[in-house]
Structure 1
């Protein structure tokens, strides 16, 4: 037996290294893509990445074998050759699966590296077994052991790099450098294994024969490069087209909800501190309703650009658009002082006028802030806390920021409970109506009443209308509740008239939602007819914001209602959005001075406002009622200014209908004794 000497073609060896580097780079890129994907998309990338990396490593191995020259002809068993390729793909699959775990310690990483390394060893020596030649192949045990050690070390290093670069962009200098190192490791394992092989033959002719097949080499190389190139091309397309569509908002080019999810999984570390700011435009719906969605979109683009400029100097600050006029700012490792300072800058920036299609728009925003780890460490917890704080900012008057605290959570929970119980309250008739008198201070007699809704909760007791009415309006339950109140008031008014207790009009407060339903006229007409009442026995009270709302035909509905004989009162006059220029065009009969002015009627400026409201009502031939009168001094001041109709605790508090008759008898008796 003659020992055959092994020679290598240097250019083919270099080609095998190039294939190994490309396969390594593709594997590193695929690892980050697999980790960030979910569901079926992740499975598809896992299968594609395993196939490409496995084929790349196998191609490098096969090209490396073709680079070898031993002086005898070599053929390959197709079945064993394919089996070696399958082993390479399986080893790649193990590698990628190991990178998917959220938490991996050194022991688990070592276990994954062991199975991957053994898969590569099996691939290599199965490929060697596929060689069919007259030579006898044997192995040097210690070099073979070294090749196994190199395979295990290379596999462990590959898994470490996969974990290290799973969040890195698709192109990364360190990723490219790591690919060069991985290429050396993969080739090192192969050529160490080849060095362990000893070829002996009786028929070899020194320097004769050739086992180098340039056509086979070209075919294998082209297939390997095409496979790797296809993956790189797919990754490029995914990165520049599909990923942009999936993770970026098409209107503002900001990351969207999917981008936010990926950011929190990969780049936001709550343990090191952080902040989430929910930013929401105030009254953005009005812009869309009045100027159109095209103007609204242009406004959002300008808004996004201003926000980008505002946070440009802040490290680790990332801006997202969640949809509509909702934006979110995630910021890593800021102090509370920095967060508050940035919130103030954002509010100040957004108050500057926007010019959109020759429309000058003055906007404000509300901001809710949550802090990590104080308010949570997970994305959902931080977003929920920021959203709760945003709601508080809106409720507090908008154009401000608010930092979350636990009291807000309790209030939010109570609000959700009340919203749930409101439906049951309506079905089980837990609501009741109390009546507050309106007194003519000059004639000293009852001139009317206001019906006020109350809720007796079976567990929580009496719930303030200031608390449950806004919830009822948002949920839409205010519509059936108001219909019930109108019917209840008309029924009670009929009873009082029949028993001789009182024959005065009763007023009912109307929500904006009642006008949006466009059924208010029919509801009122039906109740008046059901209880055989004239329209003059009923009044409806509307706020200034409802009266000035142009989005629904409020004026037209009020005119039809007044045609029934029902009078209309403008409640809380002077505190809303009324325009004195159009007040005379509004179909109202009564102005009610808000109690905010009455409480401070000892202040000269408030007295001047009250006097002007009374003068306006007199000149427009409207009645005027003062709310919240509690003292004799307030009543005498109003009388002196010409306001005779008084409502407030000075004359009577809200009371249930069964007490109203007794109160009226006592009040009449006091008036008679006074005269």
Structure 2
């Protein structure tokens, strides 16, 4: 049989496989090729790494094989088209199922990837310390990270999908989704309340965007800048306030004074500027420690802030050291004076530090706008000038600025200028006031006294230029020149053949407390070859009472050189016989205030007698200073005071023996 023929086929068509005869070779060749291809396809499918895709491929190959196999039913005539139909159905179904599964896998894979990205983004957003949120047009949170939720003691799920009204009132709510009129990104600084009800500062970036469903939302990212704002506020505070007292500082004072001046000009008003300097603060600070000084300044600041029991509008500033300023609005001279009296009254009672009472007083200078100046600089300068006048007149008081003060202040500036060139210009000279042995009427010493014959001013009294020299820091240089010149002169006198005398030199506090003072004395003695026993250094009671331990240390170092130490001006207000036994001095000089009219003043006579008695027991020599009458001289001799100096004995002169 060469071929199968369907005798009763539809329309005579032949749908049978040619398994023999013409065309059978092609059929079997295709069959062999198919099985070979299927075999190699199975082999190649093993190389597919994706397990799911490998499975799909093999399922397709199996379906193809199955379909082709079903097609063999066509060898049976009675099957008619059933074999081909089933083969097509199986093949088509397998292709459809495979494609569907491939697409399902891709969709699932894409969804899994999206979910992973969402989880990653969610984790990233939640880990971000910034406050992140999104709000839709319905004013509902569509996104909230942990940091934002924790700010209000919530978790994100409690906020997402809910209205912002659960957290904010209408005013605060508006801040969350407000953007500028151009619907552009904005970065405002906002204040809100945290979970504890405390105010916090936020810097927020707000961006209007469109969501996937064309819904407009606002994405906000806020950073907590509370600490930064605190630091900024602290820096701003420190820039304009004194850290010790908490008062506004010099910078703030300058700004306020300019504003007050401009405002007063505009509205035709008056106000007063007070410049305060504490009396003897440096002495207290050096004597009792800097910590005590700081405490004292804080107490002074409080006293100034509370100096008026009335509700007066005034501003207090600390502009540096022991200097304070006050601005008193709406004040003329009379109101300013009344206010100054209130300040002075505050300091009549001692301030208590660690249980110890401590007296401190202010010197106050006052200038009035516009009488004493129409700008801040002039007002401050004039108040400062008035304050210095108070200092010179005895301190612990106030003074309104007067125009003639400028002349005095100008002279003081010129004195300072002249002092700076006086040494090089050889304008300084020394004169010597003899110290007399009253018993034997013999000169035993001389006190060196500084004189300044200025080329510009003529003879300038020491009472005028010495305070200026101390104030501007020239006293050490001048004092060293005096000490060197006096030692040279004493050496010359003592080699002239007569009995040697001692030379007394006054030492200022700054000079004495200078770190290398003992070294300078030693160097000058070596340079001049003066026997140290003929040098007597005079220090004031104030020096002796300052920084007691340090003073004793310096005195002992000087005495180890062989130098004699004298206390000058004993009896001028700091006197205490108790410390005489504690300080290793050689000489005590009784001040002229006790010597004057001693024969007529029983009180002074009693004091002098007590001093003489105590010093004799302590083996301290006594010199009476300022003897101006024969009666005073005789009275002192009768009290067994045998050394003196004064105008009655001799005025200061170039040579004590002339």
Q: TM class by shorter-chain length?
A: 0.5 to 0.7
Pairwise CA distance, 1:448: 1.3
Q: Quick check: 2:332–2:368 contact (8 Å CA) kept in 1?
A: no
Q: Residues 410 and 552 from structure 1, CA distance in 2 versus in 1: closer, same or farther, beyond 3 angstroms?
A: farther
Aligned to 2:251: 258
Partner residue, 2:280: 283
- Residue in 2 aligned with 1:113? none
| Residues 277 and 329, structure 1, Cα contact 8 Å, conserved in 2 | yes
Query: Given that residues 515 and 552 in structure 1 are in contact (C-alpha distance below 8 angstroms), is that contact kept between their aligned partners in structure 2?
Result: no
Q: Does 1:535 align with 2:528?
A: no
Which structure 2 residues correspond to residues 12-51 of structure 1 after superposition, within 5 A?
A: none
Q: Is the 8 A contact 2:368 2:379 kept in 1?
A: yes
Where does residue 493 of structure 1 map in the other structure? Answer: 490
Q: Which residue of 2 aligns with 1:645?
A: 643
Gaps of 5+ in 1: 1-57, 64-80, 82-212, 664-675
- 1:577 Cα deviation after fit: 2.0
Q: How far apart are the structure 2 equivalents of 1:484 and 1:301?
A: 41
Q: Report the secondary structure of 2:434's partner residue.
A: strand
Q: 1:462: Cα distance to partner?
A: 1.3
Residue 541 of structure 1 contacts residue 568 of structure 1 at CA under 8 Å; is this kept in 2?
A: yes
Distance 1:409 1:600, change over 3 A: farther
Q: Secondary structure of 1:369's partner?
A: strand
Report the Cα distance in structure 2 between the residues aligned to 1:314 and 1:543, rounded to whole angstroms.
46
Per the alignment, residue 576 of structure 2 pairs with 579
Distance 1:568 1:357, change over 3 A: closer
Query: Equivalent of 2:425, from 416, 424, 428?
Result: 428
Aligned ranges for residues 34-73 of structure 1 at < 5 Å? none
| 1:350 aligned residue | 347
Give the structure-1-normalised TM-score: 0.60
**Residue by residue, what CA displacement relative to the aligned partner does 1:4-56 show, whole Å, maximum 9, x if unpaired?**
xxxxxxxxxxxxxxxxxxxxxxxxxxxxxxxxxxxxxxxxxxxxxxxxxxxxx
8 Å CA contact 1:629–1:650 kept in 2: the answer is: yes
Residue 405 of structure 1 corresponds to 402
My pick for the range that moved more, 275-284 or 307-316, is 307-316
Counterpart check, 1:546 vs 2:538: no
- Cα gap change, 1:282 to 1:222, in 2 (>3 Å): farther
Q: Residues 270 and 377 of structure 1 are in contact (CA less than 8 Å); yes or no, is this contact kept in structure 2?
A: no
Q: SS of the residue aligned with 1:553?
A: helix
Contact kept, 8 Å, 1:431 with 1:453, in 2: the verdict is yes
Instruction: Give the CA deviation at 1:488.
Output: 1.7
Indicate how the Cα distance of structure 1 residues 425 and 333 shifts in structure 2: closer, same or farther if over 3 A, else same. Answer: same
**SS of residue matched to 1:517:** coil
Distance 2:392 2:520 in 1: 31
Q: 1:369 to 1:594 in 2, by over 3 A?
A: same
Q: Distance in 1 between matches of 2:310 and 2:654?
A: 62
Distance in 2 (CA, whole Å) between partners of 1:295 and 1:482 is 31
1:532–1:259 Cα change, 3 Å: closer
Aligned partners of 1:219, 1:280: CA distance in 2, in Å? 70
2:409 and 2:558 mapped to 1: Cα distance?
Answer: 38
Q: Is the contact between residue 595 and residue 626 of structure 1 (CA under 8 Å) also seen in structure 2?
A: yes
Alignment of 1:16-415 (within 5 A): 243-268=236-261, 269-271=263-265, 272-286=269-283, 288-289=285-286, 292-311=289-308, 313-415=310-412
Look at both structures and tell me which one has the larger radius of gyration over its CA atoms.
2
2-side partners of 1:382 and 1:522: how far apart? 46
Q: Deviations over 1:57-77 (max 9, x none)?
A: x966x79xxxxxxxxxxxxxx
Aligned twin of 1:623: 621
TM-aligned CA distance change 1:248 to 1:556, over 3 Å: closer
Partner of 1:609: 607
Higher helix share: 1
Relative to structure 1, is the Cα distance of residues 239 and 509 closer, same or farther in structure 2, using a 3 angstrom cutoff? closer
Please tell me whether the aligned partners of residues 543 and 576 of structure 1 are also in contact (alpha carbons under 8 angstroms). no
Cα distance in 2 for partners of 1:466, 1:607 equals: 28
TM-score calculated relative to the size of structure 2:
0.62
- In structure 2, the CA distance between the partners of 1:260 and 1:473, relative to structure 1 (3 Å rule), is closer
Secondary structure at 2:331 match in 1: coil
Q: Which has the higher contact order (CA 8 A, sep 6+)?
A: 1
Q: Which residue of 2 aligns with 1:473?
A: 470
Contact 1:548 1:578 in 2 (8 A): no
Partner Cα distance (2:413, 2:548) in 1: 29
Would the alpha carbon gap of residues 222 and 386 (structure 1) be closer, same or farther in structure 2, given more than 3 Å must change?
A: farther
Q: What is the CA–CA distance in structure 2 between the aligned matches of 1:617 and 1:278, rounded to whole Å?
A: 45
Distance 1:599 1:648 in 2: 11
Paired positions, count = 457
Candidates 457, 462, 476, aligned match of 1:460: 457
For residue 583 of structure 1, report the CA deviation from its aligned partner.
0.8
User: 2: distance between equivalents of 1:493 and 1:563?
Assistant: 20
Is the CA contact (8 Å cut-off) linking 1:252 and 1:300 kept in structure 2? yes
Looking at structure 1, the residues matched to 320 and 427 of structure 2 have their Cα atoms a distance apart, in angstroms, of 39
Describe the shift of the 1:345–1:637 C-alpha distance in structure 2 as closer, same or farther (beyond 3 A). same
User: Match of 1:654?
Assistant: 652
**Residues of 2 paired with 1:296 and 1:570: CA distance?**
27
**Maintained 8 Å contact 1:59/1:221:** no
Deviation at 1:559, TM superposition (A): 2.2
Cα shift at 1:581: 1.6
Shift of 1:313: 2.4
CA displacement 1:147-190 (0-9 Å, x = unmatched): xxxxxxxxxxxxxxxxxxxxxxxxxxxxxxxxxxxxxxxxxxxx
The DSSP-based 3-state class of the residue aligned with 2:306 is helix
Q: How far 1:648 sits from its partner (Å)?
A: 1.0
Residues 611 and 358 of structure 1: is their aligned pair in 2 closer, same or farther, counting only changes over 3 Å? closer
* Alpha-carbon distance change, 631 to 357 in structure 1, aligned in 2, over 3 angstroms: closer
Q: CA deviation at 1:560?
A: 3.0
Q: 1:221 to 1:571 in 2, by over 3 A?
A: farther
Q: Is the 8 A contact 2:275 2:364 kept in 1?
A: yes
Superposed CA offset, 1:371-415 (max 9, x none):
222211211111111112222223333222222223332222222
Per the TM alignment, residue 653 of structure 1 is displaced from its structure 2 partner at its CA by 0.6
